[in-house]
Amino acid sequence: MNISVLGAGAWGTAMAISLSAHHQVTLWGRNEAQLAEMAATRINQHYLPDVTLPEALRLSADLDTALAAAELLIVAVPVSALRATLQRIAQRSAPTGVLWLCKGFEAQTSLLPHQVVAQVLPATFSRGVLSGPSFALEVARGLPTALTLGSGDTEFARHTANALHHARLRVYTCHDVIGVEVGGAVKNVLAIAAGIADGLGFGCNARAALITRGLAEISRLGLKLGGKGETLGGLSGAGDLILTCTGNLSRNRQVGLLLAQGMTLPHILEQLGHVAEGVYTVREVHRLAVQLDVDMPICQTVYSILYENIPAATAVEALLSRAPNSEFQ
């Protein structure tokens, strides 16, 4: 299959590397200087400096070239750039299959990615979301990973999953696009909370409780938005939550660890140098929780730390002081 991956960040590069042994893959990025450096060194120095790009992987800074012969487009840009990228696809590409990898809600609109796609791309484009517990570095290194491909188009989902699936990348299909997307979005907020808890020295018991109660928050919002419980308890929900809350490669968890040290958010983002989606997702999660009357105390605590300037220790103390309640109420 001829595949074009749009977005030369860590995740886009990792997916391009993973698929290039089995398909003709072109990796597109908007930064011409970055792509030229990658072509010369066969390394994505900024995002994956420890991984060599396969010789078979094509690189291009020209979008027309990337779109020209692609049978499948994999959009690997952040949510903030999704709409603009889709608009360029709609203008320049003949109808084809499109997958997106981003996790979050669009700023201001609080739309999930599939809703943005529905607004921008004609119905002639087959579409789906690819998500699940996956660190880019591990995928790029060929370590075993399992993902979920969510799509309302059963035939597209089956055909595409079969094409992408290989020994080190297992791809499962799912009809519940909302559940897949909500799990992928909210887990980043909870990973910030897990980092804060770890940074404050609360221990493994607290982390386990936070992950479990965090999954309850994901489920409450996901069900309210139309997702299904089994999806939220699967790879793209519970699986991704566990990975992001416990793995040291998680940028969102790193944000939490640094917040616990008293570092300011601007300084943290400058130090990371990569996008940590949970920082922006929490604003939309907060907005939706208020609008839909969904109880999400952990996410609310992260919001208060990031955007209401409440010290991490103070906000967490308030969370721990909440009155007891029924676990499944």
Residues carrying an active site annotation:
187
Retrieve residue 106's tokens: 């669009």
| φ, ψ for residue 290, nearest 5 deg | -70, -45
| φ, ψ for residue 295, nearest 5 deg | -80, 115
Please choose, from the candidates 311, 214, 296, the residue with its C-alpha nearest in 3D space to the C-alpha of residue 253.
214
- State how far the Cα of 21 lies from the Cα of 270, in Å rounded to an integer: 35
- State how far the Cα of 286 lies from the Cα of 302, in Å rounded to an integer: 9
- State how far the Cα of 6 lies from the Cα of 140, in Å rounded to an integer: 16
* Helix H or strand E segment including 326: none
Task: Say if residues 83 and 120 touch (Cβ distance below 8 Å).
Answer: yes
Per residue, the 3-state secondary structure of 40-92, as one string, reads HHCEECCCEEEEECCCCCEEECCHHHHHHCCCEEEECCCHHHHHHHHHHHHHH
To which residue do tokens 């309210």 refer? 224
3-state secondary structure of 172: strand
Please choose, from the candidates 6, 11, 15, 9, the residue with its C-alpha nearest in 3D space to the C-alpha of residue 88.
6
Task: Say if residues 66 and 28 touch (Cβ distance below 8 Å).
Answer: yes
